[in-house]
Amino acid sequence: MSDEPSDAQKLIAEVHQAHWPRRRHDDVDLWTECRCGAGKFYNPADHSKHFAAELDKALGGLTRERSVVAVYPDNEGEPKCRFVSGWTVTE
């Protein structure tokens, strides 16, 4: 495996830099501002949700894919799911 970051890793790093959280405070409140200027997030989890939405958007939207995988020797199916992206490398 190469030590060079993949195109997907580069995209994720780019989105992360654009949405880096900054902690701010005044005499009363403590909040997080996003580097992109999206506003104040008084709950850090809200900024995490904002970042996740922006990353999802950059990857072209993640969708859940479900399938049944046969487990041998009894041939009973076991449900599995994964998230897949519509993202492709564009240059």
Answer whether residue 91 is part of any domain: no
Amino acid at 22: R
| Helix and strand counts by DSSP (H, E) for the chain | 2, 5
Give the pLDDT of residue 65.
82
- Domain range enclosing 24: 7-85
Question: DSSP labels for 7-59?
Answer: HHHHHHHHHHHHT-EEEEE-SS-EEEEETT---EESSHHHHHHHHHHHHHHHT
pTM over 0.85: no
Is 20 part of any domain? Answer: yes
pLDDT, tens digit (0-9, with 9 covering 90-100), for 13-39: 999 999 999 999 988 899 999 999 998
Residue 35 lies in a domain: yes
